[in-house]
């Protein structure tokens, strides 16, 4: 999203320069269609005003019930988020499939297990920490993160972590799911 906004800004400036300087007017043949295309993509991919996105630290959430990794825990949480009007995106550590099923599971496998569109599920590559991916996704989407992780190691690069409501906690108490979502 930010990349498209950056491209649109650059192309708009180039179009303005080409329009103002007579010797560069031929560049308008390139810059104007590029500007229109980038604006179209930018507007097309903006979330609707009613869409509330949330990034789910799935490798954290799957442990919430009995401190054991379970796919059903994730399903319960995702169902509760959807009931509150959220569009959840999930991000997993590379080993999540092994912890849940004893074998590697990719984005598509986990999407099917969770009943989510594949674009809402990310499994990071082996050897890549999920935390920076989660934090970057939340920043790019302007979305809060559902996790009990405090991301202390990443505060320097992601000061938004300290913003109230950016990190949302949850869990189970007496067998019942609770989420620290803000009141609607």
Query: Residue 184: what pLDDT?
Result: 57
- Clarify whether residues 132 and 168 are in a common domain: yes
What's the pLDDT score for residue 30?
Answer: 82
Do residues 60 and 40 both lie within one domain?
Answer: no
Residues of the domain holding 27: 2-44
Assess whether 67 and 16 both reside in one domain. no
Is 138 in the same domain as 71? yes
HSE (side-chain half, CA atoms, 13 Å) at 134: 30
Identify whether residues 18 and 104 lie together within a single domain. Answer: no
184 inside domain? no
| Domain assignment of residue 34, yes or no | yes
Task: Flag residues of the chain having pLDDT under 70.
Answer: 1-2, 4, 42, 44-50, 183-184
Question: Are residues 34 and 125 both part of a single domain?
Answer: no
Q: What is the three-class DSSP state of 88?
A: strand
Residue 92's contacts (CB-CB under 8 Å, 6 or more residues apart) are 58, 59, 110, 121, 122, 123, 124, 130
- Looking at residue 80, its pLDDT comes to 96
User: Is residue 58 included in any domain, yes or no?
Assistant: yes
How high is the pLDDT of residue 2? 66
- Residue 12 pLDDT: 76
Query: Nearest Cα to 121, choosing from 95, 98, 93, 89?
Result: 89
In-domain check, residue 109: yes
What pLDDT score was predicted for residue 49?
46
pLDDT of res. 46: 53
- CATH number for the domain harbouring residue 93: 3.40.50.11980
> Quick one: pLDDT at residue 64?
97
**Residue 13: its pLDDT value, please?**
78
Number of independent structural domains in the chain: 2
Is 67 found in the same domain as 28?
A: no
Is residue 169 domain-shared with residue 118, that is, in the same domain? yes
The residue among 130, 96, 90, 128 whose CA lies nearest residue 111 is: 90
pLDDT value of residue 45: 62
62: in domain: yes
Place of tokens 């980038």: 38
């Amino acid at each position: 999203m930010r990349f498209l906004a950056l491209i649109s800004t650059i192309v708009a400036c180039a179009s303005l320069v080409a329009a103002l300087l007579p010797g560069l007017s031929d560049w308008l043949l390139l810059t104007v269609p590029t500007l229109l295309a980038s604006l179209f993509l930018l507007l097309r991919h903006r979330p609707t005003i009613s869409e509330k996105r949330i990034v789910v630290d799935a490798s954290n959430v799957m442990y919430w019930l009995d401190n054991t990794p379970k796919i059903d825990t994730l399903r319960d949480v995702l169902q509760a988020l959807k009931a509150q009007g959220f569009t959840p995106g999930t991000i997993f550590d590379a080993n999540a499939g092994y912890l849940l099923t004893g074998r590697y599971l990719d984005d598509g496998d986990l999407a099917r297990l969770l009943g989510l569109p594949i674009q809402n599920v990310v499994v990071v590559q082996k050897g890549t920490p999920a935390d920076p991916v989660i934090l970057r996704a939340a920043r790019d989407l302007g979305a809060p993160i559902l996790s009990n992780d405090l991301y202390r190691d990443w505060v320097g690069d992601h000061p938004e972590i300290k913003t109230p409501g950016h990190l949302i906690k949850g869990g189970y108490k007496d067998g019942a799911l609770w989420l620290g979502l803000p009141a609607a």
